[in-house]
């Protein structure tokens, strides 16, 4: 059985932040999918990709600013200055929003790959269970491989965290930190998003719309050469339609976009996010982390406001706590 010093579950932004800080300490990430990035996801459609998870990120904290600056210098990130609007019952209104936003380039997952550079990541390995053993922990994969580790950090979304840690007390966390689903639709279109007066727009918040939460014209982001529009559904709407097929959801969302924006397009894919974002981003844990056991911590966006920056800061904080505990 292979023994590790530090095992990290999940190669999303939180897990990558932990591993970067602890890189010199034999820290290994286990990731169930084929690559790093988690919800900073870009899906291949023919020869190009579309961002199907986070559409952009913002920076408030200096610690996140440092890594964003490094990503900007490397070319893995670029600023995105969309002309923003918001949906109203009468149509789309332009918004004076001048928030500084960033995107991965050429796609969002480039930021994940940048953070992952040089780290030890075992991809396509899904951890099924974590148990306490002697002075450490035993991890079992879904293929019945076993590892032991001195310290473990779980950075999966909250529901997946409780599934992994059935032998530990995590109910207080899973009762408090709830996550909402989202359906994401990618459509191909020649149309341009515009406000009621005909002014072109690059993205649009759903406001109080019961179906649509966010629309973004992919070609407005630096480096994208496609005519995709990405639509994120309203979380309550997604919860009601979570069991439907991708095809039927795509039809309904296409219709909703046409009615509200006039954009007519061909649906290319609909992706179901069962755990997209925290239900209430104002619910946070102290410093965005939680210690479950002596050598077992949890981190992730849901503990710290639910955005890319929150995920990064949560991961960084857990690494600092672990270092202090040694």
Ligand X SMILES: Cc1cc2nc3c(=O)[nH]c(=O)nc-3n(C[C@H](O)[C@H](O)[C@H](O)COP(=O)(O)OP(=O)(O)OC[C@H]3O[C@@H](n4cnc5c(N)ncnc54)[C@H](O)[C@@H]3O)c2cc1C
Binding window for ligand X (CB under 6 A); candidates: 25-33, 61-69, 81-89, 194-202: 25-33
Minimum CB–partner distance for residue 170 and ligand X (Å): 14
287-320 burial, b if ≥16 CB within 10 A, otherwise e? bbbbebeebbbbbbbbbbbbbbbbbbbbbbbbbe
The enclosing H or E element of 250 equals helix 246-261
Measured distance CA(59)–CA(72) in Å, rounded: 13
Among 162, 184, 234, 261, binds ligand X (CB under 6 A): 184
Cβ nearer to ligand X, comparing 92 with 312: 312
Tell whether residue 28 is a contact of ligand X (CB under 6 A): no
Chain center to CA of 144: 28
In the complex, the smallest distance separating the C-beta of residue 19 from ligand X, rounded to whole angstroms, is 11
Secondary structure letter of residue 288 according to DSSP: G
- Residue 276 C-beta: closest distance to ligand X, Å: 4
Q: Is 43 exposed, middle or buried (0-12, 13-18, 19+ CB in 10 A)?
A: middle
| Binding piece for ligand X, criterion CB under 6 A, among 11-19, 87-95, 185-193, 195-203 | 11-19
Write each residue from 154 to 183 as x if it is in contact with ligand X (CB under 6 A), else as -, in one continuous string.
-xxx--x---x-----------------x-
Query: Of the candidates 7, 15, 95, 322, which one interacts with ligand X according to CB under 6 A?
Result: 15
Round to whole Å and give the CA distance between 44 and 296: 35
Q: Which is nearer to ligand X, 167 or 262 (CB)?
A: 167
User: From the list 168, 228, 273, 297, which residue makes contact with ligand X (rule: CB under 6 A)?
Assistant: 273
Shortest Cβ 253–ligand X spacing (Å): 13
Of the pair 242, 262, the CB lying nearest ligand X is at 242
Minimum CB distance to ligand X smaller for 14 or for 257 = 14
Q: Closest distance between ligand X and the C-beta of residue 278, in Å?
A: 8
Exposed, middle or buried: residue 31 (CB in 10 Å: 0-12, 13-18, 19+)?
A: buried
We find the least distance from the C-beta atom of residue 10 to ligand X, in angstroms, to be: 3
Q: Based on the number of CB atoms within 10 Å of its own CB, is 172 exposed (0-12), middle (13-18) or buried (19 or more)?
A: exposed
Buried b (16+ CB within 10 A) or exposed e, 115-143: bbeebebbeebebeebeeeeebbbbebee
Total residues binding ligand X (CB under 6 A): 38
Determine the distance from the C-alpha atom of residue 89 to the mean position of all C-alpha atoms in its chain, rounded to a whole number.
30
Question: Looking at beta carbons only, is 37 or 91 nearer to ligand X?
Answer: 37
Geometric angle at alpha carbon 315, from 313 and 320, rounded to 5°: 90
Q: Which residues neighbour 154 within 8 Å (Cβ) at sequence distance 6 or greater? A: 9, 10, 130, 161, 164, 165, 292, 296, 297, 298, 299, 300
> What is the nearest approach in angstroms of ligand X to the Cβ of residue 140?
11
x-marked contacts with ligand X along 219-248 as a string, rule CB under 6 A: -------------x----------------
Among 4, 6, 7, 11, binds ligand X (CB under 6 A): 11
Task: Lay out the site mask for ligand X across 35-64 (x = CB under 6 A, - = otherwise).
Answer: ---xxx------------xxxxx-------
Closest to 122 in 3D by CA, of 37, 32, 16, 40: 32
Q: How many CA atoms lie within 13 A of 275 on its CB side?
A: 15
Residues at the site binding ligand X, with contacts judged by CB under 6 A: 9-15, 30-33, 38-40, 53-57, 126-127, 155-157, 160, 164, 182, 184, 232, 273, 276-277, 300-301, 306-308, 311
């Amino acid at each position: 059985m292979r023994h590790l010093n530090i095992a990290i579950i999940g190669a999303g932004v939180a897990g990558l932040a932990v591993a970067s800080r602890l890189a010199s300490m034999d820290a290994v990430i286990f990731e169930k999918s084929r690559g790093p990035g988690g919800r900073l996801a870009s899906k291949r459609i023919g020869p190009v990709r579309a961002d199907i998870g986070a559409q952009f990120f913002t920076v408030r904290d200096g610690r996140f600013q440092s890594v964003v600056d490094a990503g900007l210098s490397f070319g893995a990130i670029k600023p995105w200055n969309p002309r923003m609007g918001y949906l109203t019952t009468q149509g789309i209104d332009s918004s004076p929003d001048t928030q500084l936003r960033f995107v991965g380039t050429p796609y969002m997952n480039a930021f994940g790959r940048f953070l992952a550079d040089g780290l030890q990541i075992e991809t396509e390995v899904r951890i099924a269970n974590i148990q306490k053993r002697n002075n450490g922990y035993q991890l079992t994969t879904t293929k019945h491989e076993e590892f032991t580790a001195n310290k473990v950090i779980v950075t999966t979304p909250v529901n997946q965290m409780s599934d992994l840690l059935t032998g530990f007390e995590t109910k207080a966390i899973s009762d408090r930190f709830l996550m909402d689903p989202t359906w994401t639709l990618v459509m191909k279109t020649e149309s341009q998003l515009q406000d009621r007066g005909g002014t072109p727009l690059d993205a649009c918040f759903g406001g109080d719309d019961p179906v649509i939460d966010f629309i973004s014209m992919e070609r407005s982001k630096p480096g994208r050469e496609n005519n995709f529009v990405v639509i994120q559904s309203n979380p309550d709407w997604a919860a009601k339609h979570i069991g439907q097929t991708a095809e039927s959801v795509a039809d309904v969302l296409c219709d909703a976009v046409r009615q509200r924006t006039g954009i007519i397009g061909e649906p290319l894919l609909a992706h179901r996010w069962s755990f997209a974002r925290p239900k209430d981003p104002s619910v946070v844990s102290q410093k965005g982390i939680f210690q479950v056991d002596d050598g077992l911590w949890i981190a992730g966006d849901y503990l710290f406001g639910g955005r890319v920056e929150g995920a990064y800061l949560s991961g960084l904080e857990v690494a600092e706590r672990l270092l202090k505990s040694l």
